[in-house]
Amino acid sequence: MLVTTKEMFENAMKGNYAIGAFNINNMEIIQGIMDAAAECKSPVILQASSSAIKYARIGYLMKMVEAAQEEHPEVPFAIHLDHGPDFETCKMCIDAGFTSVMFDGSKYDFEENVRLTKEVVEYAHSKGVVVEAELGTLAGVEDEVSVEADDARYTDPMQAKEFVERTGCDSLAIAIGTSHGAYKFKGEARLRFDILAKVKELIPNTPIVLHGASTVIPELVDMCNKYGGNIPGAKGVPDEILNEASKSGVSKINVDTDLRLAMTAQIRKVFTEQPEAFDPRKYLTPAREQVKETVAHKMRDVFGSANRI
């Protein structure tokens, strides 16, 4: 069942758990995620970045979303634009049938972010679509050393309140120490739960989104490296921290890197162990299965979204 994230987030906030939002780029990833959601009886968000849309092509993407809906009518899921860069991209997705869009104005100054987000919110709401916005800058690994000293990069809770009130956005991505990709922390992984708590205190009814939330699953990194990969020292947000975030008011947790690792680890394994194999189904079948397992683990053991349908 294709839905917006409204009811999903209301339930997640009441039940103190988070909905997984997984990035999609192709059929195998969509199938792996949806199979996991069906098996775990978990609501889920499929999200596509603008580069994923360019890669998969929007017509194909929407037909696959339609197929997912037909195959798993019992699973409530949203199709969401991840990091929409401008009004035009958001509009294109809304017009194509997306049920949720993110406008990412985090690179603009506060006033410009408010102005641009509002424009998207007005159009989206007129079409029954919800909007995620972002305030604050996600940490880059190079900045990690000065984390405590540099509060400016983190979301300011007071600004978050003003931002939500002025834009009317439906959910808000905040910066509390995560970053995109496979290299999130040089030293110990730490998130600013104090900022999260303050944000929740000021805007308790706004669903909070955590980007850059892959665990960078060590087993998958090891498997990639074992079979010819070269991803040394990769590090993400440990399951325990994500579990705590899910229980502390984060309603949406974004995962892309872990699915990339899942696919790549299995494909590398087949390529190494069966150099004679050249049928794509030989490597895409275990890759899809690994996506499913990875997603199911998060739903069941980390985010708490299993058995919530």
Mind telling me the catalytic residues?
Answer: 82
Stretch of residues binding ligand G3H (CB under 6 A), selected from 48-56, 64-72, 272-280, 295-303: 48-56
Residue 83 binds to ligand G3H (criterion: CB under 6 A):
yes
Contact 247, 195 (CB under 8 A): no
Residue 132 binds to ligand 13P (criterion: CB under 6 A):
no
Residue 192 binds to ligand G3H (criterion: CB under 6 A):
no
φ/ψ of residue 2, rounded to 5? -80, 120
**Cβ of residue 139: shortest distance to ligand 13P, in angstroms?**
12
Rounded to a whole number of angstroms, the distance between the first and last alpha carbons of the chain is 11
Contact 261, 218 (CB under 8 A): no
Stretch of residues binding ligand 13P (CB under 6 A), selected from 118-126, 248-256, 271-279, 281-289: 248-256
Q: How many residues bind ligand G3H (CB under 6 A)?
A: 8
Residue 49 binds to ligand G3H (criterion: CB under 6 A):
yes
Site for ligand 13P, residues 195 to 224, rule: CB under 6 A? 211-214
**Cβ of residue 141: shortest distance to ligand G3H, in angstroms?**
15
Nearest to 127 by CA among 147, 148, 101, 156: 101
Q: Determine which residue in the list 68, 78, 242, 255 makes contact with ligand 13P, applying CB under 6 A.
A: 255
Contact 82, 47 (CB under 8 A): yes
Query: In the complex, which residues of this chain contact ligand 13P (CB under 6 A)?
Result: 23, 82-83, 180-181, 211-214, 254-257
**Residue ranges in contact with ligand G3H by CB under 6 A:** 23, 49, 51-52, 82-83, 180, 256
